[in-house]
Amino acid sequence: MTRIIADISVSVDGFVTGPDPGPDSGMGTGGDALHSWAFSDDPDDRRLLREATARSGAVVLGRRLFDLVDGPNGWNDEVGYGAGEAGRAAFVVVTSSPPESVRLTSLDWTFVTTGVADAVGTARRRAEAASARTGKDLDVVLMGGGALIRSALDAGLVETLSLHLAPVVLGAGTPLFTGAVPRTLVQRGCLPTSTATHLVYDVL
């Protein structure tokens, strides 16, 4: 069964980037610490990343994140979806207008200009088709940025919230939940590792 999962790393004080994120520093000042777990040698971190990547049938991201991923300093053969895991999910980008060109032509990109709900619907169809082809249950993963995930949560589109709580206080940056619609969560998992606390919630 295909689930809609919002999956993002966050600081203890609730930021998904550090201060002053931009084209040359997508995670902002100090923000790289949020993703230390994805590059660690901790066996639990590696297992979580491997399992999540393997279950990804389609991945949704916002245009700002796409521009960082596809930009000249973005993903390469060593760093990509799953931080080097062999992920070949379809990628769905929410944008007001598609880019004129794409650098990462080896990836399966779809650009949706009619909002986050349509993007999630497109990703669900892609994931369900991949599930039928492979015989495996594959999910839709919303990987960010923060505004995209907050919008999807506000719209009631997210079924599972997966947070990777990094042991860092950033003080400022891009907040995940400021101004969010109140939601009730039911905790389904909590795994502390040497680099993060991995939390899983059902969204009611």
Q: Each residue of 167-197: pLDDT tens digit?
A: 999 999 999 999 999 999 999 999 999 999 9
Q: What value does the mean pLDDT take over residues 36-44?
A: 95
Report the CATH number that the domain containing residue 181 is assigned in CATH.
3.40.430.10
Nearest one of 90, 112, 109 to 101, comparing CA atoms: 109
Helix axes 146-154, 116-134, angle to 10 degrees: 90
Q: What value does the mean pLDDT take over residues 37-63?
A: 95
Tell me the pairing of strands 160-166 and 197-203: antiparallel
Q: What value does the mean pLDDT take over residues 43-68?
A: 95
What pTM did the predictor assign?
0.94
Q: What is the pLDDT at residue 189?
A: 98
For 81, residues 6+ apart whose C-beta sits below 8 A from its C-beta are 53, 56, 59, 75, 87, 89, 91, 143
Distance CA 31, CA 73 (A): 16
Distance CA 197, CA 191 (A): 6
Has residue 78 got a pLDDT over 90?
Answer: no
Residue 137 belongs to domain spanning: 4-203
Q: What is the pLDDT at residue 25?
A: 82
- State the pLDDT confidence band at 84, using cuts at 50, 70 and 90: low
Question: What are the pLDDT digits (tens) for 94-104?
Answer: 999 999 999 99
- Structural domains counted in the chain: 1
Has residue 15 got a pLDDT over 60?
Answer: yes
For 99, the token pair is 């880019």
- State the pLDDT confidence band at 165, using cuts at 50, 70 and 90: very high
- State the pLDDT confidence band at 87, using cuts at 50, 70 and 90: low
Question: What are the pLDDT digits (tens) for 114-152?
Answer: 999 999 999 999 999 999 999 999 999 999 999 999 999
Distance CA 203, CA 157 (A): 9
Q: What is the pLDDT at residue 183?
A: 93
